[in-house]
Chain A
Amino acid sequence: EVQLVQSGAEVKKPGATVKISCKVSGYTFTDYYMHWVQQAPGKGLEWMGLVDPEDGETIYAEKFQGRVTITADTSTDTAYMELSSLRSEDTAVYYCATVNNWNDVPHYWGQGTLVTVSS
């Protein structure tokens, strides 16, 4: 069974950086692409980027380019999403989600991590 387990909720001050983890099990980590998706309170889903754990190649959405870094640690089967220069608008639930095809959107989702940005 594919499982994605994310790290716990975070509270950060404006200007800080947050790093969220996503540990996977139930499949070969390098066989699936890992995506990250943002959902602000009461809003829809917004795609942030993805990483290919096999070679570390990443693609980022234009909106987050320059502030987001997505990485994959194959020694621990864990993916990470780091978002810097946090502002209040970054308050949201962040999901990791995975799929095994290149030109496809995610099938399996983590439980989500709430990040609150507040002074």
Chain B
Amino acid sequence: QSVLTQPPSASGTPGQRVTISCSGSSSNIGSNTVNWYQQLPGTAPKLLIYSNNQRPSGVPDRFSGSKSGTSASLAISGLQSEDEADYYCAAWDDSLNGPGVFGGGTKLTVL
């Protein structure tokens, strides 16, 4: 099981707002920033959100991130069919098991 916990699936209809959660602990999300990645089938992950809520250049403002305590969330508003993908959260972890930790991923389906 992954160090960060995400729901395995989420869904929404075009135009809807969808939220994906990511739960961690004091050694990772609680003390470091969170990144979110979008992975389309057969492609490498793409950075969607960094430093909890910052969007890289080129990422639509329909995507937003937030963090509170040991949890983080990714919100997608105005859902579009091309948003159907796997989404992963990740953070640095201060524990001895290794600094990089990922969530298990959430498969987003646009109905």
The residues of A with any CB-CB pair to B shorter than 8 Å are: 35, 37, 44-47, 49-50, 59-63, 95, 97, 103-112
Contacts and interface: CB of A to CB of B under 8 A. Distances in A.
A45 B33 contact: no
Contacts of B102: 37, 44-47
B105 A50 contact: no
B104 A59 contact: no
A45 B99 contact: no
A103 B99 contact: yes
B99 A50 contact: yes
A111 B92 contact: no
B88 A44 contact: yes
> Interface size for chain B: under 10, 10 to 19, 20 to 34, or 35 or more residues?
20 to 34
Contacts of A110: 44
9 tightest Cβ-Cβ pairs between the two chains A and B: A47-B100, A61-B98, A44-B105, A105-B90, A45-B102, A109-B44, A103-B92, A44-B104, A107-B47
B98 A108 contact: no
B35 A111 contact: no
A44 B100 contact: no
Interface of B: 2, 32-33, 35, 37, 44-47, 50, 56, 88, 90-92, 94, 96-105
A36 B2 CA distance: 17
Contacts of B33: 104
A100 to B, nearest CB: 11
Contacts of B90: 45, 47, 105-106
A105 B92 contact: yes
Contacts of B88: 44-45
A62 B100 contact: no
A97 B88 CA distance: 15
A103 B29 CA distance: 12
A59 B99 contact: yes
A115 to B, nearest CB: 15
Contacts of B47: 106-109
A59 B44 CA distance: 23
A59 B98 contact: yes
